Amino acid sequence: MMERVPVTIPALQAISREGRRFACLTAYDASFARLLDDCAIDIILVGDSLGMVVQGHGSTLSVTVDEIVYHTACVSRVCRHALVMADMPFLADASTELALINAGRLLKEGGAQIVKLEGGHEICTTVSLLASKGVPVCAHLGLRPQSVHKMGGYRIQGQDDEAASLIFDEAQQLVAAGADMLLLECVPSALAARVVRAVDVPVIGIGAGPDCQGQVLVLYDMLGLGEGRRPRFVENFLAGKDSLRAAIEAYVDAVHKRHYPAQQHGY
């Protein structure tokens, strides 16, 4: 068996250029992080989704930088191969200076290797500053949970021509500003495919169809533990499996082999 080596941003960029796929899941503690790492997950996202699935809040807005730092440290301590990505929580990037301080904490105290920021053209200056200081950035477009009140709920984004053009333009602007990756959430599959063709960095999708090079899900959703109506893009990989390990391995394998997401998982 070939020895696994740590996943890096250049490695993910090479995977994307070669037309291969990579898999990402969320984790917030050492036990799940170790299991995901053992199952050859490529990226572990310590998401501010912890506010909902761990803390029981109705949105991600209450999550603090201290909490993300704490959970990221729990994850990074046990990861040997997966790239650790940490969310910048709501208003952690309220100014470029604050963003630099908080991103530095996520890398230095939390052990993250890349930070994820929600936003479009308005965060380009922040992305540029972080990139100039050696902080890798994944920019998050489409449905942005931190803007849930402004967006009027958790809705599909980019459905009309004007909204789609804005997301497409902002994706290119963010890459030009220095973003190392993009994440597209809940956008039409056709729009995601256009973005993938237009940028030279890996694009991670969630509810963005089958053309993104990476795919991410909230771990608990992938295990069928989510409450309420299940979004179209979520598949329960634990169904029919006899262990958590088998479910996670099935997810990784399905993403790597392009079996998931399929056309029916997109919009």
**Residues marked as catalytic:** 185
CA distance 139 to 117: 5
Task: Using the structure block, give the residue that is written with the tokens 């309220």.
Answer: 94
Which whole-number Å values give the CA distances from 133 to 101, 113, 128, 129, in the listed order?
Answer: 11, 13, 9, 6
CB 26 within 8 A of CB 44: yes
In angstroms, the Cα distances linking 102 to 20, 88, 97, 126, 131 are: 33, 8, 9, 12, 14
193 Cβ neighbours under 8 A, 6+ residues apart: 209, 211
Bridge partners for 253 per DSSP: none
Please state, in angstroms and rounded to a whole number, the distance separating the CA atoms of residues 86 and 78: 15
Give me the amino acid identity at 101: I
User: How many Å is the Cα radius of gyration of the chain?
Assistant: 17
Between CA 130 and CA 133 the distance in angstroms is 5
As a whole number of angstroms, the distance between CA 257 and CA 230 comes to: 24
Of 206, 46, 209, nearest in space to 197 by CA: 209
Tokens of 259: 């079996």
